[in-house]
Amino acid sequence: MPKLSAQEIEERLAALPGWQIEGGELVRTFAFKNFVEALQFVNRVGEAAERAGHHPDIDIRYSRVRLALVTHDAGGLTEKDFQLASQANALT
């Protein structure tokens, strides 16, 4: 999958609430009521990621979950990153 241009990234980012670019990655931190809800969300994201064959970096801090997406084999952000980010938003 081809790497997106800076303009394409900005266009897709504008349509993706809560996400931002940090160090070349597409990143968002989700907040939940407690650890159990955070884990349930991580499991839902994990299932979506497995179906897509595209896996985010996941950091769990009690009730907060940080997802970071980048397509390593493309050397940057691709449509796959934005698709999975959109799915993650829908899973909250």
Q: What is the mean pLDDT of residues 20-28?
A: 97
Instruction: Read off the pLDDT of residues 30-76 as tens digits, 9 standing for 90 and up.
Output: 999 999 999 999 999 999 999 999 999 999 999 999 999 999 888 89
| pLDDT of 83 strictly over 90 | yes
Q: What is the pLDDT of residue 74?
A: 85
Instruction: Report all structural domains of the chain as residue ranges with CATH numbers, in order of start.
Output: 6-90 (3.30.1360.20)
Its pTM stands at: 0.93
For every residue of 34-87, which 3-state class applies, written as one string?
A: CHHHHHHHHHHHHHHHHHHCCCCEEEEECCEEEEEECEHHHCECCHHHHHHHHH
